[in-house]
Structure 1
């Protein structure tokens, strides 16, 4: 799959109410948002024109065609070129667990599915599971059953939940957990399958799982010691 990307956006919290409608206007219906704090010192903030370090971080799923049109709108309507307004970036997605999940996260976007990964021969992959709030242990127990290492959790709010019944046949809660696990590429499919079977869309966890290629790591001692 080389036409689908995870788009990240970091903006000042002051424009949060404008962002979700803006995403939907551009056919991006499934987004996740969480709060963050910038670390730039006051001199850098003054230079960038930022009034505060409180941020909203967004994750969404876009095709390259969606990104091209969305990027134009970011400049023309959201004035992202104004200092301090925000940044946006793309990360290539290498795989996703299930056709229905793919249809759900890309609704109204035309996806071209070709080869599995944009970046070839990466030794590690980052698995991200989006699950209903309160189901962290369900996801982690499933991952551990396939010998996955520990994970990191981000609490977020999701949009597009009203479409979940149509694509997935289930209801999803707005409160979400995003569980990040770095794994060896050769173990990816086994771990993804375990999460899909035990905490996937057919379970109360309602988990959707996808992977991103990792080009370099440091400090993953347990994984490195396998060799």
Structure 2
């Protein structure tokens, strides 16, 4: 049996303060996403600088990656933006990237159009 490949996906990338990543996942799930992956990073933007007892502080960031079918991308981005109040400076950033093909997800059939690897190779 050939592996299933999901087509025409978007990856929504959301960068928020550390500890807020799960909120982003929750907002995206409420809007129809299956889940997300939270990565941890360190901020270096204009809202991320500070000093504590003379030491530079670089706040922790959560980077949330959410794969969604292209047709619900904007609904999910809107839900995330509203939920984290992205219109307020320093509350985060959210953008999307086109993903042509993806495989390996357990819920791949919920990602819209799928084909087998054999169908793609023909």
Indicate conservation of the 8 Å contact 1:130/1:177, yes or no. Answer: yes
When Rg is computed on C-alpha atoms for both structures, the one with the higher figure is: 1
Residue 137 of structure 1, CA deviation: 1.9
Q: Which runs of 5+ in 1 are unaligned?
A: 1-121, 164-172
- Measure, in 2, the Cα distance between the counterparts of 1:200 and 1:124: 25
Structure 2 gaps of 5+ residues are: 1-6, 49-57, 114-122
2:28 and 2:68 mapped to 1: Cα distance?
Answer: 10
Aligned to 2:80, what secondary structure does the other structure show? Answer: helix
Question: Quick check: 1:137 aligned with 2:22?
Answer: yes
Give the RMSD, CA atoms, in angstroms.
2.5
TM-score, with length taken from structure 1? 0.38
Name the residue aligned to 2:92.
207
Q: Which has the higher contact order (CA 8 A, sep 6+)?
A: 2
CA distance in 2, matches of 1:139, 1:162: 20
Residue from 67, 78, 102 that aligns with 1:193: 78
Using the size of structure 2 for normalisation, the TM-score is 0.68
Using the TM superposition, give the Cα deviation of residue 162 of structure 1 relative to its aligned residue in structure 2, in angstroms: 3.5
Q: Which has the higher strand share?
A: 2
SS in 2 for 1:213: strand
**Offset of residue 207 of structure 1:** 2.7
Per-residue deviation, residues 42-99 of structure 1 (Å, max 9, x unmatched): xxxxxxxxxxxxxxxxxxxxxxxxxxxxxxxxxxxxxxxxxxxxxxxxxxxxxxxxxx
Query: How many Å apart are 1:202 and its aligned residue?
Result: 4.4
Structure (1 or 2) with the greater helix fraction: 1
Deviations 1:8-50 (A, max 9, x none): xxxxxxxxxxxxxxxxxxxxxxxxxxxxxxxxxxxxxxxxxxx
